[in-house]
């Protein structure tokens, strides 16, 4: 199987296209085991490719024995992107995808995505925003909380959990932030989707892991207790009092998960407390 967008079809070699993409030269951003991520350019447009080679039967069996679904191709990522887009979550587009082979241990595959130009991660944006945003910081923080909660609700409602749900995997278009006016769009794009799990319904323990990871990554971003409550209400889209009366233990589990991650990473307690 090989699918490419119009630009790639017009400018890539007509023969051995699959092999050309699997071995494309460019800036290597990551190379682990049987997978590599490469930034490359075709006729003036920049792309990222995640190329997967066969993982071998040992890796497949090891994951099966531990009760995990082995990642043997790029297909789970493009399926996740398609399902997230259908749920209204913005992701990198798919410019190309390919899969060949039959045995799961020997599959070769790739996904090609257009490079996202002029973007900044929320981790980078919030690392120094107390001084950089001026009077806009509170407005921006509240707008981003709403959008993050909306992304999480849509993703989980579609039966998907991210497994690496951190601020660094949210991108927003960079701009002159101190000049941002109330109401200016700050739309988010969710990235790094190769470990997304798909089910009819996300089990509670994976909701806790996703939301706990997200909170862990945001604990140094100047959050207040009121911000956390706003997020909870936006995530559930229900009156806060009702949510906490019904799900108090669930949200305490999320807090405990975040603190459990925070302590060994930062070697201290978070400044925020419930």
Q: What span, in angstroms and rounded, lies between the C-alpha atoms of 113 and 104?
A: 24
Half-sphere exposure of 100 (CA within 13 A, CB side): 10
Reported pTM: 0.91
3-state secondary structure at position 119: strand
| Cβ(76)–Cβ(55) below 8 Å | no
218-245: pLDDT as tens digits:
999 989 999 999 999 999 999 999 999 9
Q: What pLDDT band is residue 14 in, cutting at 50, 70 and 90? A: very high
Average pLDDT of the residues of the chain: 92
User: Which span out of 38-42, 132-136, 175-179 was modeled with the highest average pLDDT?
Assistant: 38-42
Distances in Å between the Cα of 32 and the Cα atoms of 14, 88, 109 are: 29, 31, 15
Mean pLDDT value of segment 180-196: 86
| Cβ(111)–Cβ(50) below 8 Å | yes
Q: What pLDDT band is residue 57 in, cutting at 50, 70 and 90? A: confident
Q: What pLDDT band is residue 135 in, cutting at 50, 70 and 90? A: low
| Cβ(140)–Cβ(86) below 8 Å | no
Pick the residue with more confidence: 180 or 125?
Answer: 125
Query: Within a 10 A sphere around the Cβ of 235, how many other Cβ atoms?
Result: 21
In this prediction, residue 133 carries a pLDDT of 64
The percentage of residues in the chain with a pLDDT greater than 90, rounded to a whole number, is: 76
Mean pLDDT value of segment 208-215: 98
Mean pLDDT value of segment 200-228: 96
Lowest mean pLDDT among 6-10, 165-169, 181-185, 192-196: 181-185
What is the chain's alpha carbon radius of gyration, rounded to the nearest angstrom?
20
Q: What pLDDT band is residue 134 in, cutting at 50, 70 and 90? A: low
Q: Are strands 119-121 and 170-173 parallel, antiparallel or unpaired?
A: antiparallel
Lowest mean pLDDT among 46-50, 99-103, 159-163: 99-103
User: Which residues are CB-neighbours of 179 under 8 A, at least 6 positions away?
Assistant: none
Distances in Å between the Cα of 6 and the Cα atoms of 9, 89, 97, 177, 247 are: 5, 24, 13, 35, 48
Dihedral (Cα; 232, 236, 240, 245), 10-degree rounding: -100
In this prediction, residue 78 carries a pLDDT of 95
Catalytic residues: 164
| Cβ(110)–Cβ(78) below 8 Å | no
In this prediction, residue 59 carries a pLDDT of 80
Total residues belonging to the chain: 274
């Amino acid at each position: 199987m090989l699918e490419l967008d119009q630009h790639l079809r017009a400018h890539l070699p007509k023969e051995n296209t699959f092999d050309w993409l699997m071995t494309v030269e460019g800036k290597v951003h990551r190379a682990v085991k049987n997978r590599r991520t490469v930034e490359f350019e075709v006729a003036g447009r920049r792309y990222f490719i995640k190329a997967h080679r066969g993982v071998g039967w040992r890796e497949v069996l090891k994951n099966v024995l531990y009760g995990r679904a082995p990642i043997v191709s790029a297909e789970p990522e493009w399926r996740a992107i398609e399902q997230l887009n259908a749920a209204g979550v913005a992701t990198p587009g798919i410019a190309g995808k390919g899969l060949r082979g039959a045995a799961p241990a020997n599959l070769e595959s790739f996904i090609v995505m257009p490079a996202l130009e002029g973007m900044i991660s929320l981790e980078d944006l919030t690392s120094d925003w107390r001084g950089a945003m001026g009077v806009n910081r509170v407005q921006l923080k509240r707008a981003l909380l709403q959008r993050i909660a909306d992304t999480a609700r849509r993703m989980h409602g579609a039966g998907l959990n991210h497994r690496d749900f951190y601020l660094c995997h949210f991108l927003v278009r960079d701009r002159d932030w101190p000049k941002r006016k109330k109401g200016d769009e700050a739309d988010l794009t969710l990235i790094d989707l190769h470990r997304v799990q798909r089910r009819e319904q996300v089990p509670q323990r994976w909701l806790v892991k996703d939301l706990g990871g997200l909170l862990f990554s945001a604990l140094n971003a100047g959050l207040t207790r009121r911000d956390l409550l706003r997020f909870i209400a936006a995530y559930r889209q229900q009156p806060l009092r009702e949510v906490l009366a019904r799900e108090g233990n669930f949200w305490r589990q999320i807090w405990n998960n975040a603190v459990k991650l925070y302590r060994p990473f930062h070697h201290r307690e978070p400044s925020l407390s419930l």
